[in-house]
Chains A and B, each alone.
Chain A
Amino acid sequence: MPQKAAERAVPLLSVRGVSTHYGRIQALREVDLEIAEGELVALVGANGAGKTTLLRTISGILAPSAGDIVFDGHSILRAQPDRRVEMGIAQVPEGRQMFGPMSVEDNLVLGAFTRTKTEAEADLAVVLDKFPQLRDKQREPAGTLSGGQQQMLAIGRALMARPRLLLLDEPSMGLAPNLADETFATIRSLKAAGTTVFLVEQNASAALALADRGYVLETGRIVLADTGRALLENEKVQAAYLGL
């Protein structure tokens, strides 16, 4: 189908043959993946497969030892993390990573650090409308919020950067099932609003059910790539990640 190939010709993000090392330990082995504008792509894999390493490499916290990362047609390997946020790559890190003693509002406003004050103020209202629970706690230290609220704050903080690509690292981790569902509902609404999302999850069934496409990462290598639905029905995926 040539037309479909043309649509996919210029992905928003493409990771090409990326390897990342921690000292002498290799955590990623020649990872290739692509994310098109508007897509929700899931990455599933076991603990220690290298999922967080991949996200940190995309955000520029870790430098790859080989390969290239192309965002919007340009290699971003030489860009520092702050430049990558400015370009539109925002990450919701694993474990939420609040600025604990600072207020909810300060946390959100810092999310817009690379943008102007007026833009930050306008988007603060938008994000607080999206997460009314945060509005009630606006002046309270982020560290005193419940786990679910902190997850919302972490997502809200990343949205304050007006990302073109939102990276989510294990957003359901450590949340009670109903709060995890709420988080996935939020992600669904982000996708509906047109945000490009790269979702990394251990909860494979929920992530693949949401995703347009998915990748499976095993010991640093991409072993499967397909649509979300096809991966859900894949026997190997079912056996290894869905507990079926």
Chain B
Amino acid sequence: MFAEFLQFLFTGITVGATYALVAMGFSIIYNASHVINFAQGEFVMLGGMGTVYLLAAGLPLPVAIIIAVAMTVVVGMLLEKLAIEPARNASVVTLIIITIGASIFLRGVAQVVMDKEFHAMPAFTGEDPIVIGGAAILPQSLWVIGGGVMMVLALWFFFERMKMGKAMLATAYNPLAARLVGINTKMVLLLSFGLAAFLGSVGGILIAPMSATYYEVGIMLGLKGFCAAILGGLGRGWGAVAGGLIVGIAESMGAGYISSEYKDAIAFILILLVLFFMPSGLFGTRGTERV
């Protein structure tokens, strides 16, 4: 009984860590521009597919990962530079539609340049499960969770301690004031796309050995990450982490105890409940600032 519960929990945390990385990407771009970037899932796909492709080309795993991440970051920044910035005077809804177009475009390019097959990436360090309390954990799970924790800590450091991180937060809180103190808010937007692409691709690479990757893998991962971001209160860093873990664990428990048929529905039921009863998310504030 308990072993079963533990098993579902580990699975949930592992998947949830990936959702959390995607959700943080959503939140970072949202903060910089109020745009919801629906190409976020494609960053996840590009990370995983890129790595698989580079591995097949004969590169060692660490090199393939670094190149795939760097490539995805460049794609993210190009997306901002070529598709978002030229339309910066358009409404937010228009910009969101542009990101949907970009996501379709990126999937198209991926299937032409790479292929339409499912790919399994080898696990980073072996396939022998570690047994804890009767539950089996794959070593790759630990990579996903450890990688997620590292990313969260690095982001925390960036936003709390570094000048550029604070400038990004300041832009989120008050874009006008940010420009008046000399922050280049265009640069902040570019950086936010780069950062979101970085997080997405890392998530995609970490999870790829456990769940196969293909050119459309980003659709579901992107949507789940979006649910996680909304659940935690869009734009809130810790909320994104909590949201990701909640969605991941709920999904895994639902699949385990109810039926795996409902696995994908659970995230969307959660998001509906949250939007009905707590529209600003579990950790969203209701604005207590003085004006």
Q: Which residues of A contact B (CB under 8 A)?
A: 59-61, 80-82, 85-86, 90-91, 93, 95, 97-102, 106, 109-111, 113-114, 117, 143-145, 147, 150, 157-158, 160-161
For B288, the closest partner residue in chain A by CB is: A143
Contact of A143 among B169, B176, B183, B289 (CB under 8 A): B289
Question: Chain B's nearest CB lies how many Å from the CB of A4?
Answer: 34
Contact check, B183 vs A93: say whether CB atoms are below 8 A apart: no
In the complex, the answer to whether B181 meets A110 with C-beta atoms within 8 Å is: yes
Closest to B160 in A: A106
By size class, the interface of chain B is 20 to 34
**Residues of B at under 8 Å CB distance from A?**
163, 166-167, 169-170, 173-174, 176-184, 186, 288-291
- Nearest CB of A to B87, in Å: 17
A100 touches B163 (CB 8 A): no
Q: Is the CB of A113 within 8 A of B176?
A: no
Among A93, A117, A145, point to the contact of B177 (Cβ < 8 A).
A93
A110/B180 in contact, CB under 8 A: no
**B182 x A99 contact (CB < 8 A):** no
Given contacts A80-B184, A102-B170, contact A97 B177 (CB under 8 A): yes
In the complex, chain A residues whose CB is within 8 Å of the CB of B173:
99-102
A111 in contact with B176 (CB, 8 Å): no
- B166 CB to closest chain A CB, in angstroms? 6
B180 touches A93 (CB 8 A): yes
Contacts of A109 on B, CB cut-off 8 Å?
A: 166
Number of A-B residue pairs at CB separation under 8 A = 80
State A113–B180 Cα separation when bound (angstroms).
10
Chain B residues contacting A150 (CB-CB under 8 Å) are 290
A93 to B291, CA, bound (A): 13
The answer on a CB contact under 8 Å between B180 and A144 is no
How many angstroms between the C-alpha atoms of A147 and B291 in the bound complex?
9
Q: How far is the CA of A89 from the CA of B179 in the complex (A)?
A: 12
Q: How far is the CA of A9 from the CA of B177 in the complex (A)?
A: 33
Check if B170 sits within 8 Å of A110, measured CB to CB.
yes
Return the contact of A95 from the options B169, B182, B291 (Cβ within 8 A).
B291
Contacts A102-B169, A113-B167, A143-B288: A82 and B182 contacting too (C-beta < 8 A)? yes
- Select one of B176, B183, B290 contacting A110, CB under 8 A: B183
Chain A contacts of B182 at CB under 8 A? Answer: 81-82, 85-86, 113-114, 161
Closest residue of B by beta carbon distance from A87? B182
Report yes or no: A97 in contact with B163, Cβ–Cβ below 8 A: no
Known A93-B176, A98-B177, A113-B163: A82·B184 in contact at CB below 8 Å: yes
Q: Quick check: B290 and A99 within 8 Å, CB to CB?
A: no
Q: Which residues of B contact A95 (CB under 8 A)?
A: 291
CA distance A113 to B163 in the complex (A): 8
- Can you sample 17 A-B contacts with CB below 8 Å? A81-B179, A82-B179, A82-B182, A85-B182, A90-B180, A93-B176, A97-B177, A102-B166, A110-B167, A110-B178, A111-B181, A113-B163, A113-B181, A144-B290, A147-B290, A158-B180, A158-B181
Complex interface: chain A residues within 8 A of B289 (CB)? 98, 100-101, 143
Determine if A100 and B166 form an interchain contact, defined as CB atoms under 8 angstroms apart: no
State in angstroms the CA–CA spacing of A16 and B174 once bound together: 30
Shortest Cβ distance from residue A120 to the other chain B in the assembled complex, whole angstroms: 9
Partner of B166, one of A81, A90, A106: A106
Please give me the 4 A-B residue pairs with the lowest Cβ-Cβ distance, nearest first: A85-B182, A143-B289, A97-B177, A114-B182
> Are A113 and B183 interface neighbours, CB within 8 A?
yes
Cα distance A98–B182 when bound, in Å? 14
In the bound complex, residues from chain B placing their C-beta under 8 Å from that of A106 are: 166, 170
Nearest residue (CB) in A for B183 is: A113
Shortest Cβ distance from residue A203 to the other chain B in the assembled complex, whole angstroms: 20
For residue B166, which residues in chain A have a CB less than 8 angstroms away from its CB?
A: 102, 106, 109-110
With A85-B181, A110-B170 known, 11 other A-B pairs at CB within 8 A are: A61-B176, A81-B182, A95-B291, A99-B169, A99-B178, A100-B174, A100-B289, A100-B290, A113-B182, A145-B290, A150-B290
Q: Which residue of B lies closest to A154 (CB)?
A: B177
Q: Are A98 and B181 in contact (CB under 8 A)?
A: no
Which of B169, B170, B182 counts the most chain A CB atoms within 10 A? B182
Most buried by A among B179, B181, B184, B288: B181
